[in-house]
A and B are shown apart, each in its own frame.
Chain A
Amino acid sequence: MAERSFLEEVKKLRTGAGEEFAGEGILAVTKALLQSGVSYVGGYQGAPISHLMDVLGDAKEILDELGVHFENSASEATAAASLAASVHYPLRGAITFKSTVGTNVASDALANLASGGVTGGALIIVGEDYGEGSSIMQERSHAFAMKSQIWLMDPRPNLTAIVDSVEKGFQLSEISNTPVMLELRLRSCHMHGKFIAKENITPAFKLKDAIENPKQDPARVVLPPASFAHEQEKIQKRWPAAVKFIKDNKLNEFLNDGTEDIGIAVQGGLYNIVIRALQLLGLSDVYGNTKIPLYVMNVTYPVVDDEIVQFAANKKAFILVEEGQPDYIEQNLHAVLRRADVSTKLHGKDFLPVAGEYTPAVVTKGLLEFIAKYRPNLISNEEALPSVVKPAAPRIKAENIHGRPPSFCTGCPERPIFTALKLAERETGKHHVSADIGCHLFSILPPFNIGATTMGYGLGSAGASALQSKDTDRATIAFMGDGGFWHNGLTSGIGNDVFNKNGTLTVVVDNAYSAATGGQDLLSSKAENEIRSTKHPIERAVRGVGVKWAKTVTNTYKVSELRDLFIDALKKKDDEPKVIVAQSECTLNRMRREKPAMAKRIKEGKRVVKERFGIDPETCTGDHSCIRINGCPSLTITDNPDPMRKDPIATILSSCVGCGLCGEAAHAAVLCPSFYKTEVISNPGIWDKFKLSIRKSVISILQNGIDKRLAKIEAYA
């Protein structure tokens, strides 16, 4: 089950025609899909669109009523390939994933899909993970749209516009026989807002109709000569059809045109930022009544040449606000103007930053420069300008602010794996470690500093494949998560190692969920899942592709055992790939389940033992070695209560979930005797109480003796 339950929110998907729908952007998109009569939805979870998948997962009942097929695709490529259902049949289908990483994976299928073209509407909803909060390389999905000729919509960031573009996207796809990509920016996905809903639609042509009446047409398959015909068709038929639809339906907006002889062209997704910038410069109100004409490109590919020429026609100059690089649209507009022989000056990344996120601050500065050049009279006096365009020194010393990157949660079962590896390396020496994508990638940061590269999801072993040599005894290590393993790592990494006789040690971190994307279930999840088939062990899969040395560790908190296993594997120098499946349940998910259950048992009067760890302040010398091999958020430092010592000591916060790593680590690393485990027994039994009374009486006598001695030394107030 996913980290967040949407059972409450899912009810909103039933909102009827004319009623107001208030909620998150991603939920609105889901509702828009149902209003558009979608027949099937697939996708791969990942921020910022994880919630779209989670919502649909919790919406089984509604989906069943409407006859919608929903799957958690094995990868983005699987999702993209599923759009094949719209090639021959008038079925509307949608897929979603994180971009550009997901689009990279999907691009093979997308290119094939776009070549043959579609009959039913095919919508690719990409969560554009760009700018602050992004967890991936900073690239643009725009490139994929251009290379495969897929139309790209980038609606204004308000729910009404986003919901509209889902419906319009399907129509555009159908009329131009082309898949359509809907780009949702990071913040739009998690944006709270409202729109007026429509009724959900059950499609007239159903999946069943397609399955029972199969079609075949070699003209739609990418094989010569059809593939050559596809290219001509794209240019001669599909492109003009799309442009006509975009113009007829006014998908791009001319706003307040004619007010000035300069203008601003903007990607739809950046419209709100531009309005805010103009507001700050005194050139717009909050309702978008600007003093400068705007051309809002809600469709950023293809560019509608006529509209560009039309917007430029009565202007001295206009500026394009296009986020990210390369500046595909700017280059395109230059070509359009040049070919049409229009002399209007086009600005863009000469006033705005070439790279990086377009925040209100940078857009305001860029627009100010542009306007100052052409219409300085529009700019109010210096004092009235917003402070953001004025230079300001930071109001706090930079060295007082430390970076706070994400890290392993309190009690995370992945942390001990890296503790064990760090300890193993004390014996075996340092190894090259190829990392993967997932929570386990946090190992590259302090305090572990493990992991040299990451080449993509599931590519941990693949990234280690070249570092093989007969001239050394040192093995290469690769990490992979269970998510990446099932996504492609089984074949791209493990199978590859078996076939090429690579001796890499691959550690598959199996926490029973696709944890980093929000705790979704996987093939190897331990949980019962009503709508999915789970409990397929990873070790069985790797043995299936020919791995002979495979071990599954079912309790990663046993640091010493894991360390010894690492040493054992690393000392075997042969060309046999080795796989360690390091298994323990994601603690976020486990606590979500167990905390309420434990509280309930205590309430019922049952004997419950709750564990937590502690550190004796008297014996801790404040060297923090324990933190350097652990890094748990609840293992931290505090003032030294010892009046003679200056340095802070280690301490454990009450957020400790009692996972036991600090004790195990102190133990395995022969660190320090300060750690202890406290067991709090609620509703103790008679036997507990009996033992306690005996112990108490003996211990108490001995402690009286100690106290007596101390009383001679210390003064008691």
Chain B
Amino acid sequence: MAIVAMGGEGGGVLADWAVDLAEKRGYWAQATSVPGVAQRTGSTIYYLEFMENDVSGREPILSTMPTPGEVDIVLASELMEAGRAVFRGLVTPDVTTLITSTNRMYSMQEKTAMGDGRISSEEILESCEAASKRFIGDDFAKVAEESGTVISASLFGALASSQALPWSKEDFIAAVERSGVGVANSLKAFERSFEMAKAPKKTKSTPVAIEIGKRPEESKPTGLSPQEELALISNPASGVGPALRELAERIKSEFPEPVRIMLVHGIKRCAEYQDVKYASQYLDRLARIKDRDEKLGDGRYQLLTEVARYTALWMTYEDTIRVADLKARRRRFDRVRKEARANDNQITQVREFFHPGVEEITDTLPGPIGRAILKSNYATRIIERVTRDGLRLHTTSLHGYLLLYTLSRLRPLRRRSLRFSLEQNRIDTWLDQVFDTANEDYNLAVEIAETANVIKGYGDTHKNGLNNFNSIMREVNQLRAKKDSGAALHIASLRQAALADESGAKLRALLSTSA
């Protein structure tokens, strides 16, 4: 039996329980491990062999390392670790029962990508299912957390439940009890996992989800049930408040079904951000793209969907007013309290870490004033000095909240701010680009739309993103001039490169090779 885990997850405790259990049941047990520095959150493996005691008392000679093709049970604390066991050949379809928690602990590579660098859990699950004789996968980590213990306890429960070892549930429980540490919580997790593993979410025969029609062209789930999706598509007004009813009706009359959910989100976002008029401007911006897509697209409205997404996100760019508005809401206060798992007798306090740069401040000021400050070295230096150490704001205090609230009420100033006019120009230039390109190359137009995603973050990150965006747009112009047929693919790879690292090094490297 191999236990694959990450350092600090209690793999050693699990091995100890198993050894104790085996010895009590008249088996010879040998356990080995390779801790080293892996205890510091790296991958680690424990390997155990059990052998029924010899009647004549001979000592069996057991292996200190697993052999691919000969491992009966693999317990994994996390999905990619299960995948690693499959990759190492420890899991084989003829012998191995693979029990894994299906939760993900993302690798550094997945976490540090600018965009979505995650490996598909579905793909790993499919490989795990195909590679094993029996597969038991469910979120055992969640059970452990909810029971106030670590994953060793829930995996031990799943192991008992699988009956892959010749011992009874009571034997397993007795081993946990004998260990004497955190027994109550461990057994709670053990019991729940024992039941879960009888009918785990992921087994070797998971039914395929049924596809239903008329769903939006989306790369991620909308979070709505299919019924809710259909209701919203046929009646967009059902998804908005009274102030937006009119615009929702406009969506219904003017826009095709596959984009309606996106548009409902879009008008709500813009109205919340600024006002109803702004939401109406949002729909205005999309009208001509819709016409193009109707003419040129295949009816799935891929172009319009992406333009609708990124126009809304761009129009609601994150400025100080927006951040203050989002942080001052009651629902946020509730969420924070829930997240901290505070009970009724506990008080929660929240502190923010603000560090506005000079530009973030001038952005919010009326255009002429903002520009004047930016031009004046003296004024920028004063602001820099004042904001150097940033602002730690106690949101749940009176003065802190009042400051935040006041900031959030500056919404009317926004239309006259420096950044507002700047962003509106950028949006329109980008939309022109999309619109013009669509005639020549539909797929390239989709790529241009999606390239808006490289602009994100705050401060320097935002600046770098904008630079990357501009370099890609310059490349677009050249490609259009050359009428390059592989343009869309090329832009897609540039976009991915721009999201690979913050400095834009990968993007520059790619641009220099294509130049």
Q: Do the two chains bind?
A: yes
In Å, the complex CA distance between A710 and B7 comes to 46
| A429: interface (CB < 8 Å) | no
By a CB distance below 8 angstroms, the chain B residues around A394 are: 86-87, 89
Of the candidates B127, B346, B460, the one whose C-beta lies within 8 Å of that of A680 is: B346
Of the candidates B31, B312, B329, B354, the one whose C-beta lies within 8 Å of that of A673 is: B354
| A698: interface (CB < 8 Å) | yes
Once the chains bind, are A676 and B109 in contact (CB under 8 Å)? no
In Å, the complex CA distance between A132 and B33 comes to 10
Once the chains bind, are A388 and B457 in contact (CB under 8 Å)? no
Once the chains bind, are B127 and A676 in contact (CB under 8 Å)? no
Which chain B residues (95-114) contact chain A, with CB distance < 8 Å?
Answer: 105-114
Question: Chain B at the A interface: mostly helix, strand, loop or mixed?
Answer: mixed
Nearest chain B CB to A163's CB is how many angstroms away?
Answer: 13
| B478: interface (CB < 8 Å) | no
A-B contact count (CB 8 A): 377
In Å, the complex CA distance between A508 and B345 comes to 44
Identify the closest chain A residue to B39 (Cβ).
A406
Known: A673-B353, A706-B330. A397 touches B112 (CB 8 A): no
Q: Digitize B321-363: 1 where CB-to-A-CB distance is under 8 Å, 0 elsewhere.
A: 0110111111011001001111001111111111101000000
The stretch of B62-70, B199-207, B435-443 in contact with A is B62-70
Q: Digitize B443-474: 1 where CB-to-A-CB distance is under 8 Å, 0 elsewhere.
A: 00000000001001111110001000000000
By a CB distance below 8 angstroms, the chain B residues around A332 are: none
Known: A624-B113, A680-B342. A392 touches B348 (CB 8 A): no
| B422: interface (CB < 8 Å) | no
Once the chains bind, are A392 and B23 in contact (CB under 8 Å)? no
Which chain A residues (178-204) contact chain B, with CB distance < 8 Å?
Answer: 185-188, 190-193
In Å, the complex CA distance between A286 and B50 comes to 12
| A22: interface (CB < 8 Å) | yes
By a CB distance below 8 angstroms, the chain B residues around A645 are: 313
Once the chains bind, are B405 and A132 in contact (CB under 8 Å)? no
The stretch of B165-173, B390-398, B485-493 in contact with A is B390-398
Which chain B residues (171-207) contact chain A, with CB distance < 8 Å?
Answer: none
Once the chains bind, are B265 and A713 in contact (CB under 8 Å)? no
The range of chain B's interface size is 35 or more
By a CB distance below 8 angstroms, the chain A residues around B36 are: 47-48, 129, 133-135, 186
Once the chains bind, are B241 and A646 in contact (CB under 8 Å)? no
| A625: interface (CB < 8 Å) | yes
Once the chains bind, are B241 and A715 in contact (CB under 8 Å)? yes
By a CB distance below 8 angstroms, the chain B residues around A100 are: none
Identify the closest chain A residue to B18 (Cβ).
A192
Of the candidates B54, B67, B114, the one whose C-beta lies within 8 Å of that of A287 is: B54
Of the candidates B107, B114, B328, B460, the one whose C-beta lies within 8 Å of that of A403 is: B107
Of the candidates A275, A636, A646, A710, the one whose C-beta lies within 8 Å of that of B219 is: A646
Nearest chain A CB to B268's CB is how many angstroms away?
Answer: 6
| B389: interface (CB < 8 Å) | yes
Identify the closest chain A residue to B115 (Cβ).
A647
In Å, the complex CA distance between A645 and B221 comes to 11
The stretch of A454-462, A492-500, A626-634 in contact with B is A626-634
By a CB distance below 8 angstroms, the chain B residues around A158 are: 59, 61
By a CB distance below 8 angstroms, the chain B residues around A191 are: 30-32, 64
| A574: interface (CB < 8 Å) | no
| A488: interface (CB < 8 Å) | no
| A439: interface (CB < 8 Å) | yes
Q: Digitize A601-630: 1 where CB-to-B-CB distance is under 8 Å, 0 elsewhere.
A: 000000000001010101101111101100
Known: A654-B145, A703-B330, A707-B330. A133 touches B35 (CB 8 A): yes
Once the chains bind, are B43 and A187 in contact (CB under 8 Å)? no
By a CB distance below 8 angstroms, the chain B residues around A618 are: 326, 332
Identify the closest chain A residue to B54 (Cβ).
A287
In Å, the complex CA distance between A445 and B37 comes to 14
In Å, the complex CA distance between A623 and B124 comes to 25
| B277: interface (CB < 8 Å) | no
| A353: interface (CB < 8 Å) | no
Once the chains bind, are B347 and A286 in contact (CB under 8 Å)? no
Once the chains bind, are A676 and B40 in contact (CB under 8 Å)? no
Identify the closest chain A residue to B131 (Cβ).
A395
Q: Name, among A360, A621, A635, the residue most crowded by chain B CB atoms within 10 Å (CB to CB).
A: A621
By a CB distance below 8 angstroms, the chain A residues around B408 are: 706
Identify the closest chain A residue to B357 (Cβ).
A670
In Å, the complex CA distance between A158 and B61 comes to 8
By a CB distance below 8 angstroms, the chain B residues around A445 are: 108
In Å, the complex CA distance between A714 and B243 comes to 9
Of the candidates B80, B333, B357, the one whose C-beta lies within 8 Å of that of A402 is: B80
| A211: interface (CB < 8 Å) | no
Which chain A residues (351-408) contact chain B, with CB distance < 8 Å?
Answer: 359-361, 364, 386-388, 392, 394-408
| B370: interface (CB < 8 Å) | no
Once the chains bind, are A678 and B347 in contact (CB under 8 Å)? no
By a CB distance below 8 angstroms, the chain A residues around B91 are: 395
| B427: interface (CB < 8 Å) | no
In Å, the complex CA distance between A280 and B61 comes to 13
The stretch of A228-236, A338-346, A687-695 in contact with B is A687-695
| B226: interface (CB < 8 Å) | no
In Å, the complex CA distance between A396 and B122 comes to 12
In Å, the complex CA distance between A644 and B349 comes to 30
Known: A409-B41, A680-B342, A712-B243. A404 touches B107 (CB 8 A): yes
Once the chains bind, are B40 and A395 in contact (CB under 8 Å)? no
By a CB distance below 8 angstroms, the chain B residues around A707 are: 329-330
Which chain B residues (372-418) contact chain A, with CB distance < 8 Å?
Answer: 389-390, 392, 395-398, 401, 405, 408
Known: A401-B84, A614-B336, A619-B318. A387 touches B42 (CB 8 A): no
Nearest chain A CB to B407's CB is how many angstroms away?
Answer: 11
| A667: interface (CB < 8 Å) | yes
In Å, the complex CA distance between A639 and B261 comes to 19
Of the candidates A129, A398, A439, A695, the one whose C-beta lies within 8 Å of that of B397 is: A695
| B258: interface (CB < 8 Å) | no
Nearest chain A CB to B414's CB is how many angstroms away?
Answer: 15
Once the chains bind, are A409 and B8 in contact (CB under 8 Å)? yes
Once the chains bind, are A648 and B262 in contact (CB under 8 Å)? no
By a CB distance below 8 angstroms, the chain A residues around B349 are: 678-679, 681
In Å, the complex CA distance between A275 and B271 comes to 74
By a CB distance below 8 angstroms, the chain B residues around A677 are: 350-351, 353
| B139: interface (CB < 8 Å) | no
| B284: interface (CB < 8 Å) | no
Q: What 4 A-B pairs have minimum CB-CB distances, sorted nearest first? A: A133-B34, A406-B42, A387-B69, A623-B457
**19 A-B contacts (beta carbon < 8 Å):** A48-B36, A133-B38, A287-B59, A388-B89, A405-B42, A406-B37, A612-B340, A618-B326, A623-B114, A625-B461, A637-B106, A644-B262, A644-B309, A644-B312, A695-B401, A698-B398, A706-B330, A713-B268, A715-B238
Chain A interface residues (CB < 8 Å from chain B): 22, 47-48, 129, 132-135, 157-158, 160, 185-188, 190-193, 271-273, 275-276, 280, 286-288, 359-361, 364, 386-388, 392, 394-409, 439, 442, 445-447, 516, 560, 612, 614, 616, 618-619, 621-625, 627-628, 631, 633, 635-637, 639-641, 643-648, 654, 663-664, 666-667, 669-673, 675-684, 688-689, 692, 694-695, 698-700, 702-703, 706-707, 710-716
